[in-house]
Each structure stands twice: as structure tokens, then as C-alpha cells.
Amino acid sequence: MLPTDSTETLSFNRCITEGDLVIVYERHDVMKAVQVSEKGVLQNRFGMFKHSDWIGKPFGSKIFSSKGGFVYLLAPTPELWTLVLSHRTQILYIADISFVVMYLEIVPGCVVLESGTGSGSLSTSLARAVAPHGHVYTFDFHEQRAASAREDFERTGLSSLVTVGVRDIQGEGFPDEFSGRADSVFLDLPQPWLAIPSAAKMLQQDGVLCSFSPCIEQVQRSCETLKSSFTDIRTFEILLQTYEVREGHLPSWQDGDGVLASLKGCKKRQRSTNGQENSRPRTVLARRMGETRGHTGYLTFARLNCVR
Amino acid sequence: MSANNSEENLSGSQNRRITWDGCSVLLDINDGDRVLFARLTAGSKIKIGDKNCSLLPLIGCPFGSSFQVEVGAEGPFLAPLIPNAQGNGLSEKTDDQTMEECRDNRALVDNNTAQSLTGEDIDGMRRKGATGDEIVQALIANSATFEKKTAFSQEKYRIKKQKKYAPRVLLRRPFARSICEAYFKKHAEKIGFLRVDTLSLLPSLANVTAHSNVLVFDMLEGIVTGSVAERMGGTGYVCNPYCGTTPLPISIVRMFNFSDETCKRILSASLTELQPSDGENSTSGDQLVDECNIKEQQNKDTVSSSAKDLFNMEEISTTNMETDNNVAASPKCAKTVKAGEKAPSETIKHWKEHGFSSLIIAAPNLDAWDIAKDLVPLLSYSAPFVIYHQYLQPLATCMHNLQSNKMAINLQVSEPWLREYQVLPSRTHPHMQMSSSGGYLLSGTRISSSDQN
């Protein structure tokens, strides 16, 4: 997923080869991650697609099925991966992920500690941010989930950047070997206050910690615990509102046919007998629609106090 | 102090945790009341209230350390503040109260007669060498109404006096986060009202990482360019395209403490240089130059006013500029490589051959589609792009046009929403004021518009 040198960067000349991970895009809400193999076949509602047809084509190509339907083959990115990965736990989405990476001040070369790993959604973006010479050490107390995460990082080519450990961070804290080495620590735990003292030991001075909690009571307790070794404690919530965009025509109220049509909720173009339809200006309309996510979790950030 | 091997491999100075002579820093005065940028040199000074203090004591200190303004024999100076001596946030006392607060403000009358110390008394104390903290203590002791206030109210009073008589300065590392927040708070219009959460979405949605070739059309003084370069660790390239003959100003990039390696990978190139050079397209290229000269004129107007504004933001840069020119004083100061140089022809050739791996457009006062129609075709297929705008309608139109011209898929117009909370015992609630808008984003993925099998 991430280029290890400039020859692997996405380009017109970087073509799909055997073993590559591609994202098969049918629609913005229907996508699937597929590992390309010489003999592989993909079946979906558009028909059958042979992987061998994909090999040698550039990413972004439009591929037709035996029945004439088509899909696009996209290069995987952490954003697309978050939308297609299998959810073993509730995951973080792009709005929270982006804010966390910026607010934790993660740049290439950083060492980041994370717990819990969950489904690896955030870990993938952390890996991107620390590449090429940094590292993400992520811990989950659930052995099976840790193993699934390890498999995913293999599939997405991130194993050299992410190490998964099985460990109960709430009970045991982070391993001593990381003391004073972490630039940033991320906690997504049910009782993060139990892990905060250990996180304080792991961080370099002025290093940043983030704790993600769905409930305000967890936030209050975490902030209490943070006060002894941390400063600059801030809590946020972030959401991404999406808009629906379509082209349409809003008739004048003097246009009888137009008003009637809009009363009926008719979105079809008016079939006007005197051919005026084409002269009516069509505008692009945007609005927010329906129900949207109201809450994911609270993000609490803090800096390790500077002790001279 | 652990010095990771990875730090050596990195474009070095980005991760250094101790200040050095000539580095760029963010100074946070009185807990966010005032934030300004400075370049630490032997001669630089800062003015707090009516006191001028030298910044020399800050060189060689860890980022995150605090200083307090004290008045000594030779005038005001910045003294290092030991964190343990005064606790954290002065709220330890309020934490002890598990019992209900029984005081209230029914008997307090706000008529300015409560304080018995006069301004002259305070000056006298200072002459005798009293520290800022001692003055605050004295003010509390001489206030007739202090004991009657609630604990929260006492706390507020203490903090207010401390900010005036013993102001504190916190030394911060400039990162995209802190630079954006500083600008957004006081001079949001200079960064096109780009809020920090919106800024954080740009390198994510554009999949910026090491070895990327990112095309960034940045009309926000370089804050987007800087935050992209920050995530590339001295690899890959950031290209700022421009119309006409003059690149856009990217003065904010200077605040990031980028290494030479990173700076030399931030380049500019004209649109005509970047577009395909076959005969058919050269005429349209010329037309573009004519159209773009209008834009360039607009840019020139923006350049002259924003350069001045930058000085206002830095506040003490004029003094710094003089000392910076004295190379003998500190060889580390002299920047041998400037970000934003014109791209050499081999690099441009490489970009044309491979296409850019992602695109970010941040031109909140220009028409989005007008720019996108020229820059999206410079991307590789399957490359992500994201366009920031302060208005919704131009992005809706742009999205529609990209769709009908079959230039992109996975198109989405979104608006980030951010809310901060005050979390204190028995006093947890969202902040009373919040930002109403951080702008809008249009994201998508480029595909080939021709139907090939």
C-alpha cells in the first residue's frame, strides 16, 4: 500500500502485477479489496472478471466484465482500506483518524504506541504517517484479533512498519523497552486512566497522548488522571457531514406546469409541448440529507509535562 | 534522552526536541491568550505587556518548557519555570473539594473598592525584588472580598492576577497543528479560514506519504504546502503550480524548521511547463497564460498585503531579520536552500512522464472547476485529489462537472465539524463559543475518461 521507494509511487507506469492488492470499485458505497492472482476470478452483479485481464494495466483502469458491465481498479490507500476492511470491532473513520494524526504531531520517523489495535483502521493511517523510517507498535489483549490484524498488515504490505503485540495494556502497561522512546501514544480502551501512568513513562518529553472514548464519564476520569503528569489537555469531537449534489431545475412559480410537477415531487424533466424545456436553466443543487452519524467518540489530547 | 537512530535518517531538524540558535518557535503567552512566532537568535526580543525581554534564555531548552516574566536588576527577563513548584494548572486546590460549595456571590458588589494595594505599592514591591508570584499573593491577601468568593471564583481571580503580574511564556514546536491554530485564532482570513480539522483532512484524503509526488495549488501562504511536506520526511516532491510568471508566496513554510533536504523538494512550476507539450495543446496553453495573467494580478495584490501581515503575525521578526543576516554569528542560521525554487527541467519531465500521485487545491477565493479542469489531468490514474473551498456552491458545480466529463469517481462533498469541550469536575460542557465553519472539501479519485478495455 505504501511505496518503499520512488519506483513504487503511483504513476502512469506503475501497472498491476500478480500479488498486488487492488480495490474493486463498483460504486462509492460498494467496494471490495481483492488480491490479484493469475488464475483468480471475481464474480459480482456485473458478471465475471478474470484477474489475468487486470495484470499489466495501470491502476485506475476501467475493466469490463463478460456481460458488459464494468468496475474500476483502484490503488489501495488507507482511506479506501478503512471502507473495505472487515470489522472485527467498531472502527475509527477518516475524520477522527485525520485529526488524531495531525494533533499527535506524527511525522515520518516517529515511534507511535497504540492500544487497542481493534480492526487496524487507525493503525494503517499511523503507518502511513511514520513511513519510511518510523514504527507503530500496537497492542491488543485479544489474541485472535491481534492475529487478524497481523494478517491484514501482511496483505496491505505494512508489516515492516507495524508490529502487533498481544498484551493487556490496562493491566500491565506498555512494555518497559519503550520507556522514553515514544513520540506519541494513542489509547482506545474502556478504562484508559489505568493505562495513562504507563503512557506517561513511554513518552518523550513534550510527547503527545490521545485517548478516544465514547462516553463523557470516561473522558472526565481520564482528564483527572492526566492532570498529574500532563499539560495542554484538550477534548474534542469531530464529525464529517456529507452533501448530496445533483443537477436540477427549480421552476418559477409563474410556470403552472412547473409548480404542479414540483407539488407532486416530480424530479423528471418537464415534457413541455412548446419545447421550452431546453431553455430553462439547470443549476447544481447541494444539500445535507437524511440521518447522519451524530457521535463517534471524544478525543482527548495531552502533552507530557516538561521536567528539566 | 533517547536519540533514535531514525532521527539521523530523517530530514533531521523536524524531530529535534531542544531549541537551537536560529530555529523557528511558537511562543504561547498566558495559556493561549496570545500566540506568536519567533526566530530564536541572540538578539531577538519579545514584548509582553510593557516589558521587553530577550529570548536568549530560550535557546537550548526543550520544547514544552515554560518561562515566567520577572523583573531583575537589569530589567525584565524570562526566567525558567519549574513545573513542580506550582503544580499543574493551579487547580489542585479545587480538586480537593468533594463537599458541595456553600459560598455564592449574593453579597459581592462589584464597585472596584475591594483591593487595598495601589499601583504604587506594587511598583515598590517590584523595586524591592518581589517575584511575580509574591505580588499575586499580596494582591489576594489585600482583597477584602477574596474569602467570600466561591472556590472557582477564587481560582479565576488568581489566574487573572497571575497573567498580568507574572505572565508566562510556553515554548512550542511549530507543527502544522500549532501553526494553523495560531493563525485561525487571530488571522483566519490569511489562511482562508482553514480550520485545523479541515487542514488535517487534506494530507489524509490526498494520501500524502513518503515518496509521493504531490501537486499542491496553495493560495494560503504555504500552510498547506508546509503540512504536506511535513508528512513526506524529505522524500518525494511537492510541486506548487502557478499561472503566468510568478509562483505564489509560501512564507508560512519558513516556520516549519524544515531541513535542507525537505526544502529542496518543495518546488514550483508554471502550468504551461507541466502540461503536455504536443502541438495541439500549445495554443490552449497560451490562452491559459492570458487568462491567468488576470489571476496573477490578483495574486500580486494578495502578495503585497500578506507579506506585511506576516510581519504583524511574527511581531518581532524585524529584529530577527537583522541578526539573521549576520552569518558569522551563527552558521546554522543561514538557510542555504529555500523552499519554492523553480523546478529543474528533469524533474518536470519526470512528473509529466509519471503523473502526480495526488493533488490538493486550496484556493478559497477562486473558481474551483476552473483550476480542477487544468490540474486533475496532470494526475496519475487512481490518484486521489482534494479541493478545499470556503463556499459550498463552487465545489458542488466542480463535482458535477468532474462527473459529467467522466474525469473522476468516488466524488464526495463534505464539511468537517469540530467542537471542543471544557472537562472539569462538576463543570463539564462544550465551550461556550465555537467555530461555525471550517470550510468545505471535495474529494475524489482520478480515472481515465476514455473507455478502454
Residues A191-203 have pLDDT tens digits of 999 999 999 999 9
pLDDT given at position B451: 55
- Could you say which of B6, B357, B396 has the minimum Cβ distance to residue A11? B357
Cβ–Cβ below 8 Å for B10 and A77: no
The 3-state secondary structure of B128-149 reads: CCCCHHHHHHHHHHCECCHHHC
Of B145, B161, B160, nearest to B104 by C-alpha is: B145
Angle between helices B151-165 and B132-141 (to 10 degrees): 140
- As separate numbers, helices (DSSP H) first and strands (DSSP E) second, chain B gives 15, 16
**Distant-in-sequence, close-in-space partners of B128: CB < 8 Å, separation ≥ 6:** none
Using a CB-CB distance cutoff of 8 angstroms, which residues of chain B are in contact with residue A181? 2, 4
pLDDT in tens, chain B (453 residues): 344 444 433 334 446 788 998 899 999 888 878 888 899 888 888 888 878 888 888 899 889 888 888 877 677 778 887 765 444 444 444 444 444 566 777 777 777 777 777 777 777 777 777 777 788 888 888 887 788 778 878 888 888 888 888 888 989 999 999 999 989 988 899 999 999 999 999 999 999 999 999 999 999 999 999 999 999 989 999 999 998 888 999 999 999 989 999 999 999 999 999 988 754 343 344 444 444 444 444 444 444 444 343 334 444 333 333 233 333 333 343 456 888 899 999 999 999 999 999 999 999 999 999 999 999 999 999 999 999 999 999 999 999 999 999 999 999 999 999 999 999 998 999 999 999 988 999 999 999 876 544
Instruction: Say whether residue A160 is in contact with chain B using an 8 A CB cutoff.
Output: no
Residue B419 with chain A: CB contacts under 8 Å: 236-238
Separation CA B264–CA B270 (nearest Å): 17
Closest residue, chain B, to A29 (C-alpha): B410
Write out residues 3-42 of A within 8 Å (CB-CB) of B.
3-6, 8-14, 25, 28
Q: Which residues of A touch B203 (CB under 8 A)?
A: 98, 102
> What is each CA distance from B324 to B13, B18, B171, B306, B319, in whole angstroms?
18, 20, 20, 21, 9
| Structure confidence by residue, pLDDT tens digits, A163-216 | 999 999 999 999 999 999 999 999 999 999 999 999 999 999 889 999 999 999
Q: Is B426 on the interface with A (CB under 8 A)?
A: no
pLDDT at B147: 81
Yes or no, beta carbons of B384 and A111 under 8 Å apart = no
Q: Quick one: which of B345, B327, B89, B14 has its CA closest to A109?
A: B14
The residue of chain A nearest to residue B90, with distances taken between CA atoms, is A227
Interface with B, mutate which of A24, A243, A296 (most B CBs under 10 A): A243
Cβ distance B275 to B281 under 8 Å? yes
Q: Say which DSSP state A85 is in.
A: S
pTM: 0.85
Nearest residue in A to B358, CA atom: A10
Residues 325-364 of B with CB under 8 A from A: 353-355, 357-358
